[in-house]
């Protein structure tokens, strides 16, 4: 089992927020290409921000039911990007749009007891070509709603790499890691609203607190 939790800071729109994520030691940063999101940026703007990333830091492009040609145009601007499919994309559509590029597939977990009926094992099998499955709460609309689902209702064992998302903050990420780490091959965490001053405007202090909380949890679990 991989005991290092990877960290993605998502929904970046400003240079200073990218720099804060880099300085804090995040592994990846996310850019929302979904026009209906308050954190939306164009592919051109995302490419400008990506140029501020150091080597080996991964840019992730979040798309929602986007036409393949739009995805390909964005990838041409950001050749080293990973894709994150967050809409109704089928396994075949993900593969066709991504090609040889790595991609994440978001699973929208229902809130409350309904989350118990979501068959994550089956979902992982359906999207077996994904680099990882991202777990987010099912809310109205797409692109992430900053809500947490009931982590304890997930299956005890999932043969996949998982990314925990949805309502994470510096205060609750430790519990999220403790709940999910034993259930999967490896774990990453993805935060957006939990490190914001307002939608699309990040707080550098909260970003540093979030990363520090993850690293402290890793150290505790390793010990």
- pLDDT tens-place string over residues 70-114: 999 999 999 999 999 999 999 999 999 999 999 999 999 987 777
Report d(CA 69, CA 64) in Å as an integer: 13
Q: Which of 17, 75, 136, 184 is catalytic?
A: 136
What pLDDT is recorded for position 182?
A: 94
Residue 136: active-site member: yes
- pLDDT tens-place string over residues 140-180: 655 555 678 889 889 999 999 999 999 999 999 999 999 99
What pLDDT is recorded for position 149?
A: 86
Decide: 32 and 143 in contact? Cβ < 8 Å: yes
Q: Which of 10, 75, 94, 184 is catalytic?
A: 10
Whose CA is closest to 9, among 196, 136, 219?
196
Q: How many CB atoms lie within 10 A of CB 184?
A: 25
- pLDDT confidence bin for 137, thresholds 50/70/90: confident
Please state which of the ranges 61-70, 112-121, 167-176 shows the lowest mean pLDDT.
112-121
DSSP-derived 3-state class of residue 146: coil
Report d(CA 69, CA 115) in Å as an integer: 34
Tokens representing 47?
A: 């490419």
Ordered by where they begin, the domains of the chain are: 6-222 (3.20.20.70)
Helices marked H in 6-85? 15-24, 43-50, 68-77
What pLDDT is recorded for position 142?
A: 55
Decide: 221 and 177 in contact? Cβ < 8 Å: yes
What residue ranges in the chain does DSSP mark as E strands? 6-9, 28-32, 58-63, 82-85, 103-109, 132-137, 161-164, 186-191, 196-198, 201-202
Decide: 98 and 90 in contact? Cβ < 8 Å: no
What pLDDT is recorded for position 112?
A: 74
- pLDDT tens-place string over residues 2-49: 689 999 999 999 999 999 999 999 999 999 999 999 999 999 999 999
- pLDDT tens-place string over residues 185-199: 999 999 999 999 999
pTM here is 0.94
Q: How many CB atoms lie within 10 A of CB 138?
A: 16
- Per the prediction, the chain carries an average pLDDT of 93
């Amino acid at each position: 089992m991989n005991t290092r939790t990877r960290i993605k800071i998502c929904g970046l729109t400003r240079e200073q927020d990218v720099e804060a994520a880099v300085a804090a030691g995040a592994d990846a940063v996310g850019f929302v290409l979904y026009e209906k999101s308050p954190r939306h940026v164009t592919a051109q703007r995302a490419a400008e921000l990506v140029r501020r990333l150091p080597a080996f830091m991964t840019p992730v492009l979040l798309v929602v039911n986007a036409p393949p040609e739009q995805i390909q145009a964005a990838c041409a601007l950001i050749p080293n990007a990973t894709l994150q499919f967050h809409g109704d994309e089928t396994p075949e559509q993900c593969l066709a749009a991504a090609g040889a590029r790595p991609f994440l597939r978001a699973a929208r977990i229902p809130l409350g007891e309904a989350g118990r009926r979501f068959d994550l094992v089956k979902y992982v099998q359906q999207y077996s070509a994904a680099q990882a499955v991202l777990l987010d709460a099912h809310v109205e609309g797409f692109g992430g709603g900053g809500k947490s689902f009931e982590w304890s209702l997930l299956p005890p064992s999932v043969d996949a790499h998982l990314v925990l998302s949805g309502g994470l903050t510096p205060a609750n990420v430790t519990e999220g890691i403790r709940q999910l780490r034993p259930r999967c091959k490896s774990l990453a965490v993805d935060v957006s609203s939990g490190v914001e001053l307002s939608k699309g405007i990040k707080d550098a202090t909260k970003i540093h607190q979030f990363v520090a909380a993850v690293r402290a949890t890793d150290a505790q679990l390793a010990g």
